Chain A
């Protein structure tokens, strides 16, 4: 069974631009969560989706948004990029709530 896939793997943007990242969960998994990883803040929860509904959101500004499609694939969008948005963005999926979450390889975003 294929693991969680994320595209693109690397991305370079400039301040003020917007970016969309994509995540395909493991087949059959309906829950998708997003995390931001930086050297200073570590792994921080962004949001969580289940059956196309956002169930929880972390403490990030409104520039960070996401959605989930009927096939459980998810996208996250960051608008008006700032230098501090440079990070590894990780997606995780799980079969049902409360079970282990499996992470993808991440998308490395660099904002110049």
Chain B
């Protein structure tokens, strides 16, 4: 079935390092992409989004890069902190006029002090 894939299921980094979480998407017609963070026992928390007419967007300590040529999305977290430990999901909107999001399987980020 349709899916957005993740390259790595787990990622372990040292506090203060930069983290990069990757995602491959399958639908070249997707025009909207979102990264979510999910902590244990909580719902997904919006981090940052990007539309297909952009290739880079920056937030506070986070940057999302979109490469439409190879259908690749990445999330960069600068100066990773223990509070960043969570599962990160990429999601794509594949149907214009709909809110339907297709989620990847997620990458579990562990930040070691």
Contacts and interface: CB of A to CB of B under 8 A. Distances in A.
The answer to whether A and B assemble together is: yes
Interface stretch (A14-22, A65-73, A75-83, A99-107): A99-107
Interface residue SS majority, chain A? strand
A105 B42 contact: yes
B68 to A, nearest CB: 18
Interface residues of A, number: 26
Interface stretch (B12-20, B22-30, B75-83, B97-105): B97-105
Interface residues of B, number: 25
B99 A100 contact: no
A43 B103 contact: yes
A33 B106 CA distance: 20
A59 B41 CA distance: 26
Nearest to B89: A43
Interface in B1-58: 1, 32, 34, 36, 41-46, 49
Q: Which of A33, A43, A44, A58 has the most CB of B within 10 A?
A: A43
12 contacts: A33-B101, A42-B103, A43-B44, A43-B91, A43-B103, A48-B100, A56-B99, A97-B97, A98-B32, A98-B93, A98-B99, A102-B46
Interface of A: 4, 31, 33, 35, 42-45, 48, 50, 55-56, 58-59, 90, 92, 94, 97-98, 100-106
Interface of B: 1, 32, 34, 36, 41-46, 49, 89, 91, 93, 95, 97-106
